[in-house]
Amino acid sequence: MALAFFALLEAAFSSKGIWAVLTESGLDLCRISIGIVGAMFLDVQLRAAAGTWAAGVLLLELMIAAGAMLFKNRATDMGIVQKSTQACSILFLGLVSMVVPAIMIVLNGGH
C-alpha cells in the first residue's frame, strides 16, 4: 500500500516519465518480496524441511528479481525497444514475486 502511494507521488511530482516510475516500482516489489520471504522463514516452521523450503523459495525470488534487473539493464540488447513493454514486463515480474510469499502463507495455513 505504501509502495503504491509513493509511486503515485513520484509519478505526480517528478520529472521522470511514467514508464520509469513503473520500472522502479516493479523492482521495489521484487526487493520487498525478498524481505518478506526472509522474514517468513525466520518465524515460520514448514514442517521438518523448513531449511530446504526457505532456500528454494529464496532462490526462486532471487531468480525473479534477476529477471527484472535483466529486463531493466539489457532490454534494448534483447530487442525490447519500447519503454512501455519494458516497464510492464518488470512490473509483471514484481507482481509475480509478491504472489510467491502469499502462496506460501496460504499453504502454511495463514500462520
Range of 48's domain?
Answer: 2-107
* 22 in Cβ contact with 91 (< 8 Å): yes
Return the C-alpha cell found at 52: 530446504
As a residue count, the chain comes to: 111
DSSP state of 47: G
What domain count does the chain have? 1
Residue 79 DSSP SS3:
coil
Q: What is the pLDDT of residues 56-77, one digit of tens each?
A: 888 999 999 999 999 888 888 8
Q: What is the pTM of this model?
A: 0.80
d(CA 73, CA 96) in angstroms, rounded, equals: 19
**Helices 18-43 and 50-74, interaxial angle, to 10°?**
170
Q: What is the pLDDT of residues 79-102, one digit of tens each?
A: 888 888 888 999 899 999 999 888
